[in-house]
């Protein structure tokens, strides 16, 4: 929407007025194009002259709950999910702390084009007005590794619970204005699809994706080893385990990582289970084309990598290098495995 360039001759005020009128028509059409579940989450929409933007809102009073804003600028159209209400923020940061791995997965999976801003605002004791103090995080989600995510969410939860601070949350993406203009009427469908990417994040933050209880028979054990012989492992949480494997030439050639027989019960659904699909996270990438196999006769668990992950393993590791495998159970019986080098591997 390059209206500021196209109508520069008419003056900034005229250009802004035209831009806002076009945005208002856009948000009306967009709301009609949204899937039903998104319409139900954001039943209110309109124009904010004060912010020179349009919005979709979960509450009649924008700011009382989650909202999505669209800002038309000379060079871009920005889609921004915002949460600024103190009580709502308290709930979402508590949820992000509780389910740190799933939160990191959801916020980074949409891709590096998306940016996260967690802002620290100081609240005046007398007037209640807020002023910017600092950003706890302001960057592409590509820069948000798991450790940083845990630290940011923990600090945000702590500060937001203090009446002297407010910690607004913004998740956004910018689209080149020339490309947006070239889309014509198709822009509403494109933005509807982008909003669809936000629904899992909203469901998670509002606590609508509950974790299923672990099955008693799927009790997992953990072993961290560098030697060939297995040592006795103490029972670990049924929700996760961490294991360090030593890679052999065959592992690199064939594209797999061996676990142990003690790990197979973590993956099996029942006594007939032979394979289990898993998502593998490595270097900011989520790969859903991997699986864990049950090997006979001793029920050893083997992580079989996708072609892309196999290439990564061969390029970054050598025989006798160690790789850390961290497996976690997420919602809907999904298992996510994080792979990390140990020591001097992959350097």
Q: Write the DSSP string, 317-335.
A: --TT-EEEEEEEE-GGG-E
**Average pLDDT, whole number, for the chain?**
86
Distance of CA 220 to the CA centre of its chain: 26
Whether the pLDDT of residue 344 is over 70: the answer is: no
Say how far apart CA 273 and CA 247 lie, in whole Å.
Answer: 26
Q: What is the pLDDT of residue 30?
A: 94
% the chain with pLDDT above 70: 87
Whether the pLDDT of residue 271 is over 60: the answer is: yes
Class of domain 216-342: mainly beta
The length of the chain is: 347
Say how far apart CA 313 and CA 346 lie, in whole Å.
Answer: 9
Residues 300-326 have pLDDT tens digits of 999 999 999 999 999 999 999 999 999
Confidence of residue 108 (pLDDT cuts 50, 70, 90): very high
Q: Is the peptide bond before 141 cis (omega within 30 degrees of 0)?
A: no
Mean pLDDT (whole number) for 332-338: 89
Domains in the chain: boundaries:
3-205, 216-342
Q: What is the pLDDT of residue 219?
A: 37
Among 40-49, 164-173, 201-210, 265-274, which is the least confidently predicted range? 201-210
Contact 169, 89 (CB under 8 A): yes
Residues 66-91 have pLDDT tens digits of 999 999 887 889 999 999 999 999 99
Say how far apart CA 146 and CA 283 lie, in whole Å.
Answer: 10
DSSP 262: G
Between residues 213 and 300, which one has the greater pLDDT? 300
Residues 223-239 have pLDDT tens digits of 333 333 333 333 356 78
Q: What is the pLDDT of residue 6?
A: 47
Contact 160, 86 (CB under 8 A): yes
The architecture that CATH gives domain 3-205 is 2-Layer Sandwich (3.30)
Whether the pLDDT of residue 208 is over 70: the answer is: no
Residue with tokens 């619970």: 161
Angstrom CA distances, 70 to 77, 138, 171, 306, stand at 7, 19, 12, 38
Mean pLDDT (whole number) for 337-346: 79
Nearest residue to 105 (alpha-carbon basis) of 291, 294, 286, 308: 286
**264, HSE (Cβ side, Cα atoms, 13 Å):** 19
Among 117-121, 174-178, 234-238, 280-284, which is the least confidently predicted range? 234-238
Whether the pLDDT of residue 10 is over 90: the answer is: no
Q: What is the pLDDT of residue 217?
A: 37
Say how far apart CA 74 and CA 180 lie, in whole Å.
Answer: 12
Confidence of residue 143 (pLDDT cuts 50, 70, 90): very high
Helix (H) or strand (E) holding 139: strand 130-140
If phi > 0 it is left, if psi is from -120 to 50 it is alpha, else beta; for residue 112 that is alpha
Angstrom CA distances, 62 to 66, 84, 115, 221, stand at 8, 10, 22, 48
């Amino acid at each position: 929407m390059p209206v500021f360039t196209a109508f520069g001759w008419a003056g900034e005020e005229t250009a802004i007025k035209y831009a806002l009128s076009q945005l208002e028509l856009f948000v009306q059409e967009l709301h009609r194009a949204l899937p039903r579940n998104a319409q139900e989450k954001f039943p209110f929409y309109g124009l904010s002259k004060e912010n020179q933007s349009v919005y979709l809102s979960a509450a009649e009073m924008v700011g009382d709950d989650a909202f999505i804003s669209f800002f038309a600028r000379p060079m871009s159209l920005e889609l921004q999910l915002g949460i600024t209400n103190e009580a709502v923020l308290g709930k979402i940061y508590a949820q992000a702390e509780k389910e740190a791995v799933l939160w990191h997965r959801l916020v980074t999976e949409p891709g590096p084009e998306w940016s996260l801003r967690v802002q620290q605002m100081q609240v005046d004791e007398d007037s209640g007005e807020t002023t910017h103090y600092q950003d706890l995080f302001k960057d592409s989600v590509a820069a948000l590794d798991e450790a940083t995510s845990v630290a940011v969410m923990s600090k945000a939860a702590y500060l937001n619970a203090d009446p002297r601070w407010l910690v607004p949350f913004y998740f956004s993406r910018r689209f080149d204005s020339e490309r947006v203009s070239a889309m014509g009427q198709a822009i509403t469908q494109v933005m509807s699809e982008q909003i669809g990417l936000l629904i899992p994040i909203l469901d998670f933050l509002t606590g609508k994706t509950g974790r299923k209880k672990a099955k008693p028979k799927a009790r997992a054990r953990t072993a961290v080893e560098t030697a060939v012989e297995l040592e006795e492992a103490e029972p670990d949480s049924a929700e996760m385990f961490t294991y360090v494997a030593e890679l052999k030439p065959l592992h690199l050639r064939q594209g797999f990582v061996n676990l142990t027989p003690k790990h197979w019960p973590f993956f099996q659904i029942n006594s007939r289970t032979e394979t289990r699909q898993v998502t593998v996270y490595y270097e900011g990438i989520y790969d859903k084309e991997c699986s864990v196999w049950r090997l006979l006769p001793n029920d050893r668990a083997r992580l079989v990598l996708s072609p892309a992950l196999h290439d990564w393993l061969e390029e970054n590791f050598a025989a006798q290098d160690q790789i850390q495998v961290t497996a976690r159970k997420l919602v809907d019986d999904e298992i996510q495995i994080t792979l990390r080098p140990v020591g001097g591997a992959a350097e």
